[in-house]
Chains A and B, each alone.
With several copies, the nearest count.
Chain A
Amino acid sequence: MNKILFFAHLRDEAGEESVMLEASGKTVAELKAFVAENYGIHKLDTAMAAINEEFAPNEEMIKEGDVIAFIPPVSGG
């Protein structure tokens, strides 16, 4: 299983901070498409993904146990 984290407006849209999904074997892009469809999240295409707290490109393959976070454009500072 994989833990999927949502932040900022993505969390507001998803209605929860995190969900558990079976994502291993999917690419980041495939997971994005799946989550967008199943959780009604609209702006996921402008979000980055992080796998285990490091930015990961769309083509990266997700492994069992990986923690995936969707990172909207940041606005700290």
Chain B
Amino acid sequence: MNYEISKVAIDIQAVIDKVVQREAGAITTFIGTVRELTEGKKTLFLIYEAYESMAVKKLQQIGDEIKERWNGAEVAITHRVGRLDITDVAVVIAVSTPHRADAYEANRYAIERIKEIVPIWKKEHWEDGQKWIGNQLETVSYPSGKPEGDDLNE
């Protein structure tokens, strides 16, 4: 399966291997890691939680969107859940395409979409407290009461 939620450390090479193809000249990966400082505040660790069955479907949807927009693309995404320490890998996105410009653009598209529509949440733990993070795009949350039009069930 190219779209997974993992309870254990992600094997990056295994994600890359899923998108290798004879037609591809380029593979890009995005590896999201747990950063120690965010706006000057020190993170101790994170907990990621997912609505797992739906999250896998939404990752698949993102892959399908990419294949429709970028010809010849192959996509694999694994997102970690559970407790993650600083520098641990939270998500790995691998995209292969015939030409390199597409591999960068399609990969960037994937991470932005994950932050919009995939039901995964992180709880930050600092020295002085903990909090479920609302949304990382730092926009008002679903101002219309739902994700943008094309977020629905595509």
Listed in ascending order, the chain A residues whose CB lies under 8 Å from chain B are 5, 7-9, 12, 45-48, 50, 53-55, 57-58, 69, 71-77
A73 near B135: Cβ-Cβ < 8 Å: yes
Known: A12-B132, A77-B111. A71 touches B51 (CB 8 A): yes
Nearest neighbor of A71 in chain B, beta-carbon distance: B119
Chain B binding surface SS class: mixed
Q: How far is the CB of B55 from chain A (nearest CB, A)?
A: 8
Nearest neighbor of B134 in chain A, beta-carbon distance: A73
B123 near A8: Cβ-Cβ < 8 Å: yes
CA distance A54 to B151 in the complex (A): 10
B135 near A58: Cβ-Cβ < 8 Å: no
- Chain B's interface size range is 35 or more
Q: How far is the CB of B90 from chain A (nearest CB, A)?
A: 7
Listed in ascending order, the chain B residues whose CB lies under 8 Å from chain A are 32, 48-51, 53-55, 57, 79, 90-91, 111, 114-123, 132-136, 141-142, 145-147, 151-153
From A5, A9, A75, give the contact of B135 (CB < 8 A).
Answer: A75
| A-chain residues with CB within 8 Å of residue B145 when the two chains form the complex | 45, 48, 57-58
User: Most A CB atoms within 10 A — which of B51, B118, B120?
Assistant: B51
CA distance A12 to B134 in the complex (A): 14
A76 near B152: Cβ-Cβ < 8 Å: no
CA distance A12 to B55 in the complex (A): 20
